[in-house]
Each structure stands twice: as C-alpha cells, then as structure tokens.
C-alpha cells in the first residue's frame, strides 16, 4: 500500500447517545493519507458528533479508534491536537484581537530564557507557514482585520504548525465568496499532496464532487454507504442521505401573478446600494443574485427599516411609505427571514412555540397574561403546515436541526399573513432534503399570493425558485431576467458588469 493509500485513521462500530437521542449507531469510517474524504448527511445525521469524537470533544460510548496503526483513546481536544488531529469548526476559533502569528502558534509560542517570547523565531516560523498557504497577509496583521477566507487560512496555518496528519473541515465555505473558495481548495489540494488526510463536511453537492476522493453518507446516526466520488453521482448520494430519490429539487408551477406589492425607486445607502430600482408583484418570486458584497442584503435591510437609506422611494401597493424601523415594516405587512438565523432570526434559549409566536404576543394576551391555549394552537397549526419536526412546542429551538430552525423563522412571519416576505439566504447551512422542503414552501407561499424576494448566493437555487431575477454588483443593478431566458452563463456575465 502506497503512502497515499495508507489508512491514516479508522473508527470501528462507534456509538454515541445523548438523552433521548442515539446520535451514532455502530458507525465504521476510515480516512486515508493524501485523501479528501467527504462526510455528508442531513442535519442530525451524526456527522458533527463523529468528528467531535475524533477531535476529543466527545468520548464514544462504544467502539474503537485506530490511528496511525495504533488503537487510541482520545480523551480531550488537547490530546487530539498532540496526535495531529485538528478540527476546523464552521465558527472559527481564532482570537480576533491577536496577530496572525500569535493565533497560529497559540499555546506553543517559541520562548527564550525566562519565558520570554522569541518574536523573531515566531515571525520566521509564521512566514514559512504563510508561504505554504500562498497568502499575502503578514505575521503581525491582526486577525480581525482579515477577511473570513483569510481567517480560515490562519486556522489551516495553525494545523500546519502542529504538523497535523488529519484535518477536519466543517462547512468551511459557508461564508466564502467563489474566489475565496478557490483559494481554500488550492490549499486543501496542497495538503493532500503532502499526504495529509482531509475530512470535508459540507451540504454543497458541487463542492463534494469537486474536491473529494470518497464520500461517506450518514443517515439517522448510521452509515448508509461509502462511495468512490468518480464512480457515483448526485442522485445516488442524495438517495443514501434521505432514503429516497429526490428527482425534483425545484418544483415549478404556473402561478397567477397579481398586482404590484412593492416598488423601489433609486434607493441609495452609503457605498452599498446605488440607485437600485425594482418591483415585485403578488404571487411572484423575485430573485436577487450577486457575489458577496454586491449590496443584496443591504438593499433588503434598507427596505425593512433595519438601516435607513440615504435617499430613494419605497412604494407598498402603490402608496409611498416611510419605513423608519422593522416594527413599521411589520405593521405594513412585511417579513424578513435574515441571513443568520441563529443570531438575527431566533432566540436560541427559548422554546419553539415562543419563537414562532414572538411577533404575535400582543394578540395572544389577556389582561397582560399570555393565553397558552392560543399559543399552542397556533404553533401546532404551523408545525403541521410547515412539517416542523420537534418533540414538542417547548423544545428549545437551539436543539433543532438547521432546517427545522429555518422553518420556525419562516413560520413566525407567515403566521402574520404578510404581503411581502424577504428571504435572505433561506437554505444556508441546510441539508439537501430540508432545502427541497424550503423550496416547496417558497412556491406555496407565492401561490398563496405573497410577494417574495429571495436573496441567494447559490446559482442553481436562485434560478430554480425565481420567476424573475435581478443581478447586482457593487451596489448596482446590472441585469434582469425572466425564468424562460435565464441561464448560469447570463447570470455570471451580468454579475461581472460594472
């Protein structure tokens, strides 16, 4: 067996349970040196639990781990790092106020006599790692001054400083632009050439087939298969993930487009939004597409009153409106599903029913007391309508999968019967099965006459769900396409225009 094909790590019959949940059930998994092994599955399939066991965060209930030919008991993250196993979380674990050098060598700073830091040696070692990463930041740059992509490179640099033999990437491209993804993939391929074993967790199918050598699929805590990437296809992987074939990701239905609901004229906001004009009609899904930094979310924030536009006009059902804050937007019949559901869309410590009914608390009170029966009835109605999977209304929303959390956020707004609903990255960080359900909901809401503005970085999604698409670049609208005429090539060209 060559060095590239040598088994770096394997887990045998690993199981792990939490109160009320069996997260992993007799799972086998192996990773070879010099291999990128994709680990995929729906939210709650057990991917993160398995990787946290490898990283020493969790201890398995049963099973064993063989690493570099020896059976090991990884009891904590420090031991995992000492063994050369590094987990790069989706939420980066850098110290923002420290420099690149200090972050890369945190816990292992080179020292001189009397415990003083050898800053020259630290700088030299950091420059060597930066050269390997082919990045142009400097050792003394503060991490909080770097882009998210470069911060991810610093995380990889930390792994290199520990001479990691196994690096686990958990949803590494969630906040990256297309060009930043290419930089990341180049560095992953360089690690692969050095013989590093790479585990790659993602919900993005195109990435799986672009970067991986093998794919292991988990469903409900069990392994359903391991496939050679070059010998399989998207449909087979999805079938293993969800237990059925997903023949249609986007269901196109003929809908009646009604009267104009929203019209924006020459909206401007600092350097983010520049003379933006468009309209949306009842029952229409308007897609807003562009690269990160194009001004899409800033446009939505200005419409919803989160941040005031410098100038421009907003019309709702033909009448000009002034939206000073989100409360005013809600009173006018608008809803916004934000890009970051955990920070902006939910109160994670609160129960599912409290989150879903939050905008309607005033209507559910009598003499200042919440009428629980009304709240329970409302939650059950929308849990059934949106197929929200939860043990009960009092389940903390933090314990739900990403897809079910997103349905709670959507349910919160559609329970108000809005005229306009803005969805900013509605399926970010959601598994493929839940994505299909969210797409179905978008179509259903449009069929019910709601005007919908969808903002998405995923080109197949924006093409699949939209009746009409507007492209943006650097704050400007650069193109408009109907469903019948749009193509990926046209969107790319429009986003490249100045």
Give the pLDDT confidence score for residue 100 in this predicted structure.
Answer: 93
Provide CB contacts within 8 A for 55, sequence distance 6+: 74, 77, 80, 85, 86, 87, 168
Quick one: average pLDDT of 4-31? 88
Q: Read off the pLDDT of residues 303-324 as tens digits, 9 standing for 90 and up.
A: 999 999 999 999 999 999 999 9
Provide CB contacts within 8 A for 345, sequence distance 6+: 337, 338, 405, 409, 412
Confidence class of residue 2 from pLDDT cuts 50, 70 and 90? very low
Give the pLDDT confidence score for residue 235 in this predicted structure.
Answer: 84
Q: Is the pLDDT reported for residue 400 higher than 70?
A: yes
What's the CA gap between 419 and 282, in Å, rounded? 8
Quick one: average pLDDT of 85-100? 85
Give the pLDDT confidence score for residue 122 in this predicted structure.
Answer: 93
Quick one: average pLDDT of 438-461? 90
Q: What is the DSSP secondary structure assignment for residue 478, as one 8-state letter? A: E
Give the pLDDT confidence score for residue 498 in this predicted structure.
Answer: 56
What's the CA gap between 289 and 494, in Å, rounded? 10
Among 168, 176, 126, smallest CA distance to 147 is for 176
The half-sphere exposure of 456 on its side-chain side, counting CA atoms within 13 A, is 25
First to last CA, the chain: 53
Ramachandran quadrant class, 488 (left: phi over 0; alpha: psi -120 to 50; beta: rest): alpha
Q: Is the pLDDT reported for residue 1 higher than 50?
A: no
Give the pLDDT confidence score for residue 139 in this predicted structure.
Answer: 93
Q: Is the pLDDT reported for residue 249 higher than 60?
A: no
Provide CB contacts within 8 A for 160, sequence distance 6+: 104, 129, 132, 133
Quick one: average pLDDT of 400-415? 86
What's the CA gap between 317 and 259, in Å, rounded? 8
Quick one: average pLDDT of 186-192? 89
- CA dihedral sign, ordered 346, 331, 267, 486: positive
In the chain, the domains with their CATH numbers are: 7-242 (3.40.50.300), 260-496 (3.40.50.300)
**Range name among 360-364, 390-394, 413-417, 492-496 with the lowest pLDDT average:** 360-364
What percentage of residues in the chain have a pLDDT greater than 90?
44
Pairing of strands 285-289, 468-473: parallel
Q: Which of 125-139, 183-197, 314-328 has the highest mean pLDDT?
A: 314-328
Among 362, 353, 457, smallest CA distance to 412 is for 353
Total-model pTM: 0.65
Q: For residues 77 and 372, which has the higher predicted lDDT (pLDDT)?
A: 77
Q: Read off the pLDDT of residues 347-384 as tens digits, 9 standing for 90 and up.
A: 888 988 888 888 877 777 676 676 777 788 888 888 88
Q: Is the pLDDT reported for residue 246 higher than 70?
A: no
**Range name among 18-22, 285-289, 442-446 with the lowest pLDDT average:** 18-22
Q: What average pLDDT does the structure give for the chain? A: 87
Confidence class of residue 253 from pLDDT cuts 50, 70 and 90? low
Q: Is the pLDDT reported for residue 148 higher than 80?
A: no
Give the pLDDT confidence score for residue 126 in this predicted structure.
Answer: 94
């Amino acid at each position: 067996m060559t060095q590239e094909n040598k088994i770096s790590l394997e887990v045998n019959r690993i199981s792990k349970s939490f109160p009320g949940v069996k997260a992993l059930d007799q799972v086998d998994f192996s990773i070879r040196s010099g291999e990128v092994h994709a680990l995929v599955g729906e939210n709650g399939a057990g991917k993160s639990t398995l990787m946290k066991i490898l990283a020493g965060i969790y201890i398995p209930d049963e099973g064993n781990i063989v690493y570099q030919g020896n059976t090991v008991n990884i009891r904590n993250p420090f031991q995992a790092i000492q063994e050369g196993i590094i987990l790069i979380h989706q939420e980066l674990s850098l110290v923002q106020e420290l420099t690149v050098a200090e972050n890369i060598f945190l816990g292992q700073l080179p020292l001189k006599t009397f415990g003083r830091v050898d800053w020259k040696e630290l700088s030299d070692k950091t420059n060597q790692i930066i050269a390997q990463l082919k990045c142009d930041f400097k050792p003394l740059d503060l991490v909080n001054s770097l882009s998210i992509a470069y911060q991810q490179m610093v995380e990889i640099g930390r792994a290199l400083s520990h001479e990691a033999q196994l690096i686990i990437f958990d949803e590494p491209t969630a906040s990256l632009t297309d060009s930043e993804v290419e930089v990341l993939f180049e560095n992953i391929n360089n690690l692969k050439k050095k013989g590093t074993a790479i585990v790659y967790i993602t919900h993005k199918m195109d990435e799986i087939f672009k970067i991986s050598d093998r794919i292991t699929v988990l469903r409900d805590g069990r392994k359903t298969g391991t496939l050679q990437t070059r010998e399989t296809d998207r449909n087979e992987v999805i079938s293993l993930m969800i237990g059925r074939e997903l023949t249609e990701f986007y269901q196109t239905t003929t809908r009646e487009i009604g009267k104009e609901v929203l019209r924006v004229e020459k909206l401007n906001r600092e350097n983010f939004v520049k003379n933006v004009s468009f309209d949306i009609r009842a029952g229409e899904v308007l897609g807003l597409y562009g690269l990160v930094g194009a001004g899409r979310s800033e446009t939505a924030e200005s419409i919803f009153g989160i941040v005031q536009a410098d100038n421009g006009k907003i019309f709702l059902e033909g009448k000009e409106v002034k939206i000073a804050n989100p409360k005013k937007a809600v009173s006018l019949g608008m809803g916004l599903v934000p890009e970051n559901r955990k920070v902006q869309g939910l109160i994670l410590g609160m129960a599912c029913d409290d989150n879903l009914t939050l905008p309607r608390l005033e209507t559910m009170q009598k003499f200042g007391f919440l009428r629980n029966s009304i709240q329970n009835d409302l939650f059950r109605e929308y849990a059934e309508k949106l197929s929200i999977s939860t043990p009960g209304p009092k389940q903390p929303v933090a314990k739900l999968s990403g897809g079910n959390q997103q349905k709670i956020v959507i349910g919160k707004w559609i329970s108000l019967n809005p005229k306009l609903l803005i969805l900013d990255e509605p399926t970010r960080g959601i598994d493929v099965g839940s994505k299909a359900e969210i797409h179905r909901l978008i179509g259903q809401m449009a069929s019910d006459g709601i005007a919908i503005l969808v903002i998405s970085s995923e080109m197949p999604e924006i093409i699949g769900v939209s009746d009409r698409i507007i492209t943006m670049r650097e704050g400007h609208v650069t193109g408009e396409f109907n469903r019948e005429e749009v193509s990926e090539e046209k969107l790319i060209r429009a986003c490249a225009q100045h």
